Structure 1
Amino acid sequence: MGRPHDLLKLNRSPLASDAPAWAHAALSRIPFAVVRRAVYANAAIPIGIRGDVRTQRYAAYARREEIEAIVGPEQLLAAAPSADRRGLGAFVALAGLRAVRRLARYQWGPTGSAGFELATRLPTVSASSDLDLLVRAPDEVAPGEAAALLADIQAAGAMAGARIDVQLETPAGAIALSEWAAAKPRTMLRTPNGPCLVDNPWSAQPVDPSPVRGA
């Protein structure tokens, strides 16, 4: 239940009493957490809590019964920012990406601050915010195709005046689109067990982050 970058709406707080006060306050105000890329622990899902500033990030775990709903990045393409927020660069870039034909071949959506704001309606995007994207790539993407996709995405970002950071989600973990497009001999693969260098992410052994008893 829940994949990395999915947002979880919680029906109650999973935090222990010794968690930071700001984390308790954040969940009290907006009961949303993001699924972290980590191994499950005793049937609990790794989550991250975000506060009001970038330095406020707290790692925790949530159990299935504490989750009311799951919102994936793809679902957020149907959401729109409030009228007074649409002019921010990240949202302008996101709107422009909907017209990128090459991107339409994939399932994709916003993560990071843009995704969080679209899901929760809490203003988290600033004028200088990057746009973070997740592109699902269950099948191998050739470096040439990745380079063409990156160029199209960067063009949309340039028109909007926003930097766009893209992760390709493979069966074994995530890679940076820019790294794969560069056709380097090895690429950093982000897995539940941590990052590692691989020749080809699609040839790497898929990692199952499902519950591990005693973890």
Structure 2
Amino acid sequence: MRFDIISCQPDLLESPFSHSILKRAQNKGLVEVHIHDLRKFAINKHGQIDDYAFGGGAGMVMMIEPIDKCISGLQAELSYDAIIYMTPDGQTLNQKIANQFSLLQNVIILCGHYKGVDERVRQKFITHEISIGDYVLSGGELGAAVLADAIIRIVPGVLNDESSALTDSFQDGLLAPPVYTRPADYKGLQVPEVLLSGDTPKVEQWRFEQAITRTRERRPDLLNE
């Protein structure tokens, strides 16, 4: 799977893709991540990629021309399955969306900035608009990293134990149950006996019941869905 991430602050994206699972996915050859500096497609030698909004108002707007040059250049080399714009007014990211994107091959992610992009960018290029929550960040870079992480970790072969991703919170519409590790008794805090029993069916039943209970207490909206 290939990600082309377009940003006017590309340095913000270096760290997330240089460590842990995201780095290993690239080292295994399962994922490619290419970060493109939008200022290289600026309209002048000053690196301008933004301008005042027609009609006035506070804040600057990302211009269509640099974005057009960058995306059109990428499309001249590859066919893309999705062009995603990170924006607060997009569809809120969830596990189902991440699962769907993980089946794609080539994806462009455009990081918003300032007051957003010229609306014609959205009309001409964007196939999906994604938000990571009902709040505003300084730019779309952190959101792009979150989206890419959610997708990459479920690409087949990325995790050493692929069943691990299938038991994550939200994969079955429930929150994950409590988990424990050694020691079984720590300063009087005990691991539930059923987890020490070796009885796999009972363990799985306990985990399912705990997942239901935790979801009902913390995210009852998931049960309603």
Bin for the TM-score computed over the shorter chain: under 0.3
Q: What TM-score does the superposition give when structure 2 sets the normalisation length? A: 0.22
- Higher strand share goes to which structure? 1
User: Max radius of gyration: which structure?
Assistant: 2
- Higher helix share goes to which structure? 2
Q: What TM-score does the superposition give when structure 1 sets the normalisation length? A: 0.22
